[in-house]
């Protein structure tokens, strides 16, 4: 009998080798033993977290994280009842690329969050003004913003100002190269949190959800 850890390790190996069929075979075997959400919790969440940590540690390349998140999203799409019909409560969320044209980080985080069961709007690439407007129009509670250039990272300050002016309580989670190089930059641009990788994005979103729920109770 293979342990759950060994199964997870094999699944991660298949993802790193970009072996879709191999990953799918393991995924289906696990799925036969539980519900859709259990399969996601046992396999996809820890695998994506592990890959995110691996990227942070320099043992996994971004191309592998991207291809793996895409495979996981496809696998999850086959079994999860999107959009969020499984009774899981979640705040209204969106993801956006601010001014840059380098969308890879946004695509990875979007695919990974969907693969672990979150539904979120993908706003694509927009300006600070356009983003603030959409967040308000959709009553978004958590907005994830990806940037590559330092200049775009500073635009997040403007998003925050516009949201404050409009009375939006949306929490801002940021990610991207400038925030990895300067770990305090997220505070400077007045974000609520920053995520260095997929693993942190999943954790930060979960933590934001908890805070929102607690505030609602109060």
Part in contact with another protein (CB under 8 A); list of ranges 114-122, 150-158, 167-175, 198-206: 150-158
Of 160-179, binders to another protein (CB under 8 A) are 177-178
Range 89-148, binding another protein (CB under 8 A): 99-104, 107
Distance of closest approach, residue 89 Cβ to another protein, in angstroms: 31
Rounded CA separation 215/217 (Å) = 5
Note whether 212 binds another protein by CB under 8 A: no
Facing residues of 142 across strands? 93, 171
- Residues ≥6 apart with Cβ < 8 Å to 163: 132, 135, 136, 170, 172
- We find the least distance from the C-beta atom of residue 9 to another protein, in angstroms, to be 18
What minimum distance in Å lies between the beta carbon of 182 and another protein? 4
Q: Which of 38, 63, 164, 166 binds another protein (CB under 8 A)?
A: 63
Judged by CB under 8 A, the residue of 149, 162, 196, 212 near another protein is 149
Walk across the sheet containing 171-175 and list its strands: 121-126, 93-98, 142-146, 171-175, 193-194
Beta strand 93-98 with 193-194: parallel, antiparallel or unpaired? unpaired
Pick from 36, 150, 162, 212: which binds another protein (CB under 8 A)?
150
Burial 15-45 (b: 16+ CB within 10 A, else e): bbeeeeebbbebbeebbeeeeebebbebbbb
Q: Which of 38, 61, 139, 210 binds another protein (CB under 8 A)?
A: 61
Residues in touch with another protein (CB under 8 A): 16, 18, 55, 58, 60-64, 66-67, 99-104, 107, 149-152, 154, 177-178, 181-182, 185
């Amino acid at each position: 009998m293979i342990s759950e850890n060994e199964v997870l390790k094999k699944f991660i190996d298949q993802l790193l080798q970009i072996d879709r069929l191999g990953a799918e075979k393991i995924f289906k075997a696990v799925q036969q033993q539980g519900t859709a959400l259990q399969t996601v919790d046992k396999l996809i969440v820890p695998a994506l977290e592990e890959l995110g940590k691996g990227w942070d540690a320099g043992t996994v390349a971004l191309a592998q994280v991207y291809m793996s998140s895409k495979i996981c999203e496809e696998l999850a799409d086959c079994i999860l009842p999107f959009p969020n019909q499984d009774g899981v409560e979640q705040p209204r969320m969106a993801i956006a690329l601010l001014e840059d044209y380098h969308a890879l980080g946004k695509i990875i985080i979007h695919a990974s969050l969907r693969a672990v069961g979150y539904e979120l709007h993908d706003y694509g690439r927009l300006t600070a003004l356009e983003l603030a407007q959409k967040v308000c129009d959709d009553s978004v509670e958590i907005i994830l913003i990806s940037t590559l250039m330092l200049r775009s990272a500073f635009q997040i300050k403007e998003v925050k100002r516009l949201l404050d002016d409009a009375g939006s309580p949306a929490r801002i989670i940021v990610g991207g190269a400038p925030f990895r190089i300067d770990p305090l930059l997220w505070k400077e641009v007045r974000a609520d949190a920053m995520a260095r990788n997929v693993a942190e994005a999943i954790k930060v979103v979960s933590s934001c959800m908890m805070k929102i729920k607690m505030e609602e109770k109060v």
